[in-house]
Amino acid sequence: MTMTESNLLSRLADASLLRTLAYVDGAWCGADDARTFAVNDPATGEKIADVPLMTGAETRRAIEAAERAQRGWRALTAAQRAAILKRWHALMIANTGDLATIMSAEQGKPLAEAKGEIGYAASFIEWFAEQAKRIDGDVLASPAADKRMLVTKEPIGVCAAITPWNFPAAMITRKVAPALAAGCSMIVKPAEATPLSALALAELAHRAGVPAGVFSVVVGDPRSIGAEMTSNPIVRKLSFTGSTPVGRMLMSQCAPTIKKLSLELGGNAPFIVFDDADLDAAVEGALASKYRNAGQTCVCTNRFYVQDSVYDAFAEKFTAAVARIKVGNGFESGVTQGPLINEAAVEKVEAHIADAVAHGARVLTGGKRHAAGKLFFEPTVVDGVTASMRFATEETFGPVAPLFRFHEEQEAIAAANATEFGLAAYFYSRDIGRIWRVSRRSNTAWSASTPA
């Protein structure tokens, strides 16, 4: 199945949602020098579209437009801003099918999973539309008898966001919706792999009545766009979701202008199965926390710690379930795992498996590229993994579940926390005392569930 621009357009009920120009100050525009770059379907390698290769100059104009627009936007009442956001939410829900089709084409996730993300992404807009009316202040006691201290919360100003490719809609609305609800304006730079979803969201925001300049999407060179966002004093806050090294670099670049920062960085989430766990429930949870989006989420489980007495039983049940995962093009019926995003992602998965096998681990199922195509990888389970292997310390970001064996509770907690990463942890137990104890000692944990 080949996904070209014409094929993608034919799948859409509203072809005008497939935008291939950037959205700046309420207008669709190309790069100043007319350069473009290709957006490819990871399932087939075929080019879907060409989009502008913008740089710092175009980004600067978007920032300046945001500054002008923000004055009028913040002057609206909370109810007025909320009404516009609610229209944006309604348009997303009404166009779920088309938005999911665009996402699946450029990112590769199965269509059903993409539809789920659109609903999830829209929910942020709905939530913050309501929260816009609940930005309350405070009246505080004053040390002076004839005075009162009044605290009001004001919009910080122009905001910028750099978003990842693994959730190309939800990571945008999660950042843009609260900014707009608070009275701020926002410029978004989406990942180069998935700009079409961002541009479709901009089209719907335009239809919803978001004023020109309040929300812009610039696409192109990440270094020059990021450099302008971090160095421009007009930008008062930067939000970034992505790798820890890039987050560290952005933090450094923001320091001279002392910007407010929100960073969501890499993860290496542990998943602990204790000897009193419901193994069937643990297997179900493990599948959800590991293999959604082909393992390409920052809160995906990266390390499975299973207690001795249930290790073999869990490994058998889990391996059988993983072997049933259907891999293929996201537009094919029944597919639950699509391709990885690019060749580098596949090579990293291969390297982690090779390292483990070289040090004594063995593959229980999968372990190689899938016949569906060069960026597809078999859902994999690796047995006998130890702390000396790369799985223990590096984020794999792929459909591989490494199994570690442990004896005592304290051993599992120590191993789970032996990482520089944060974000998420999971465990299964039916002992309420253990549940409270482990949750307190694991910086972040979900018991018997996955995060929304």
Q: Is 2's pLDDT higher than 70? A: no
The SS3 of residue 239 is: strand
Q: Would you state the pLDDT for residue 4?
A: 72
Taking the CA atoms of 165, 167, 171 and 172 in sequence, report the sign of the dihedral they define: positive
d(CA 98, CA 85): 20
Q: Would you state the pLDDT for residue 242?
A: 94
Average of pLDDT values for 237-249?
Answer: 95
Looking at every residue in the chain, the average pLDDT score rounds to 95
Q: Would you state the pLDDT for residue 443?
A: 64
Among candidate residues 106, 203, 264, 378, the one labeled active-site is 264
Task: Give the burial string for 116-139 (b: 16+ CB within 10 Å, else e).
Answer: bbbeebbbbbbbbbebbeeeeeee
d(CA 11, CA 324): 29
Q: Would you state the pLDDT for residue 266?
A: 86
d(CA 287, CA 96): 25
Domains of the chain (ranges, CATH numbers):
5-139+147-264 (3.40.605.10), 269-447 (3.40.309.10)
Structure tokens at 120: 């999830």
The dihedrals phi and psi of 288, each to the nearest 5 degrees, come to: -70, -40
- Least Cα distance to 424 among 445, 440, 404 occurs for 445
d(CA 138, CA 432): 39
Average of pLDDT values for 375-387?
Answer: 98
Q: Is 421's pLDDT higher than 90? A: no
- Quick: pLDDT tens for 300-322: 999 999 999 999 999 999 999 99
Judge contact between 168 and 103, C-beta under 8 A.
Answer: yes
The dihedrals phi and psi of 448, each to the nearest 5 degrees, come to: 60, 35
Q: Is 98's pLDDT higher than 90? A: yes
Q: What angle do CA 325, 328, 331 make, to 5 degrees?
A: 115
d(CA 247, CA 445): 23
pTM: 0.94
Average of pLDDT values for 288-308?
Answer: 96
Average of pLDDT values for 105-120?
Answer: 98
- Quick: pLDDT tens for 188-209: 999 999 999 999 999 999 999 9
- Helix, strand, coil percent content, the chain, rounded in steps of 5: 45, 20, 35
Average of pLDDT values for 144-151?
Answer: 92
Name the residue with tokens 């096998």: 357
Task: Give me the helices (H) in 260-332, please.
Answer: 279-291, 308-323
Kindly calculate the radius of gyration of the chain based on its CA atoms and give it in whole angstroms.
23
Q: Which residues contact 147 (CB under 8 A, 6 or more apart)?
A: none
Structure tokens at 71: 């004055």
Q: Is 444's pLDDT higher than 80? A: no
Name the residue with tokens 């996955």: 450
Catalytic site includes residue 264: yes
- Quick: pLDDT tens for 340-361: 999 999 999 999 999 999 999 9
What is the DSSP annotation of 196-212? HHHHHHHHHHHHHTPPT
Name the residue with tokens 């004093």: 233
- Least Cα distance to 108 among 166, 192, 50 occurs for 166
Q: Is 42's pLDDT higher than 70? A: yes
Helices (H) and strands (E) in the chain, counts: 14, 18
Average of pLDDT values for 115-142?
Answer: 95
Structure tokens at 447: 């018991």
Q: How far lies 414's CA from each of 55, 344, 390, 441, in Å?
A: 45, 31, 17, 9
Q: Is 449's pLDDT higher than 60? A: no
Q: Is 115's pLDDT higher than 90? A: yes
